[in-house]
Amino acid sequence: MISRIWRNTHFLLAISISLFLIIASISGVILGIEALIDQTKPQAIYSLKSQSLKATMEALEDQFENVYEIVVTEKKFVVVQGITSNGFETFYVDPITGIKIKNVSPSNPFFNHVRSLHRSLFLKKTGRILVGIVAFLLFLLSITGMILLVKRLGGVMHFFLPLKENNKYRKVHITLGKWFFIPLLIIGISGAYLVIERFDGFSKKESKIKKYDAGEKKLNLNTLYLSDIKRVSYPFSNLKNDTYTIELKNRRVIIRQGDLSIVNDEIFHVHQILKNWSYYIHTGDTMVVGFNFEDVIEIYDCKVRNNVDIYKTKNIKLTEFRYRTINVIKVPGFETNEDLT
């Protein structure tokens, strides 16, 4: 009897969202192909994790008259807006050498349309809500399917055993269900989360803002790596009080030019980080490293400024920094005056 309820739920869910799922899956495949194409383009940079912001800014300074903005996109492109010999331009660069790769061209209208279909079925707000509901139902569909499957197999223990089933279609359905249970779960829940976020599901939760006096706390651009960065906006003019805005994955820091002291440090609420994470895992545009709990700025505060340079030359990533600190410093050949512990 209970099994029948599960079966009916599974069937009704499948019937009601099948059409939407077909649209979403086809458009999703096309978008996946787009992501794949983008990853093979020359402007996709794979050394973002070892490239510090400081080095990038210096390299760009050598190449261009004036830089306005550096953007690191989800597709690992480094985009620069600034003044070149041709005037104001937006272009992709190689962050290591600072050399321009090519100009940014408007995004492909075909993929834009597909994206619009995938997100909103061309129905704007209504469409987005609809797609969100469908994504959540997909999540439920895969759960009910899994419950039915486990019942059918006679327990979780039998999950990986060979299947005894004579009907060809059923056999395919069960096998595919086994394989794609986890991906479907992830796609459903991350898609639904993206829609909820989009409609201000958590608008009451504000991000934390800390303010600092001039010179109180400084930011070391050597310990910031491009993989952590989303956007760097340069100061408007040469005035001393003009600021850089550096947007990281989990926070936004505003620093004065000159002494690089922090004006304003805004830590995003966890739902924003979750949203980034959902986006990454849903689109596969980048590796799933959305959770960035490393406290980049605080590390700099504990008097290790000199040693950070050593790390840089040894090419040790910031993420490994905390845990390796003591071991690495004791390696013969490194001489430091400061006691790290």
Partner 1 sequence: MKTFFSFLLLYFLLLNSSMEEYVEVKCMLEIVNYRGEGAYIAISVIDKSEQYIKTVYVFGDDKSWFSEMKSFWRNLRENNLFLDKDFYLLVDAISGPTISGSERRLFQFKIPKNLFNSNYNLRIETAVEDKGYYVNDININLNPENLKKIYQGEGFINKIQFSAVDK
In the complex, the residues that contact partner 1 under the rule CB under 8 A are 68-69, 79, 81, 83, 87-88, 90, 104, 106-107, 109, 112-113, 116, 124-125, 198-200, 203, 231, 233-234, 236-237, 245, 247, 252
Helix axes 109-120, 124-153, angle to 10 degrees: 70
113 or 303, CB closer to partner 1? 113
HSE-up (13 A, CA, CB side) for residue 137: 19
The answer to whether 210 and 253 are in contact (CB under 8 A) is no
Closest CA to 309 of 296, 300, 297: 300
142 or 276, CB closer to partner 1? 276
Cβ 81 to partner 1, closest distance in Å? 6
Cβ 200 to partner 1, closest distance in Å? 5
Q: Where are the beta strands (DSSP E) in the chain?
A: 66-72, 78-84, 87-93, 100-103, 208-211, 229-233, 243-248, 251-256, 262-267
Cβ 50 to partner 1, closest distance in Å? 27
200 or 298, CB closer to partner 1? 200
Cβ 233 to partner 1, closest distance in Å? 5
54 or 269, CB closer to partner 1? 269
Cβ 169 to partner 1, closest distance in Å? 40
Cβ 123 to partner 1, closest distance in Å? 12
**Whole-angstrom Cα Rg for the chain:** 25
267 or 328, CB closer to partner 1? 267
Residues 6+ apart with CB under 8 A from 265: 209, 210, 211, 212, 251, 252, 253, 254, 297
Chain position carrying tokens 């490239």: 51
148 or 274, CB closer to partner 1? 274
The length of the chain is 341
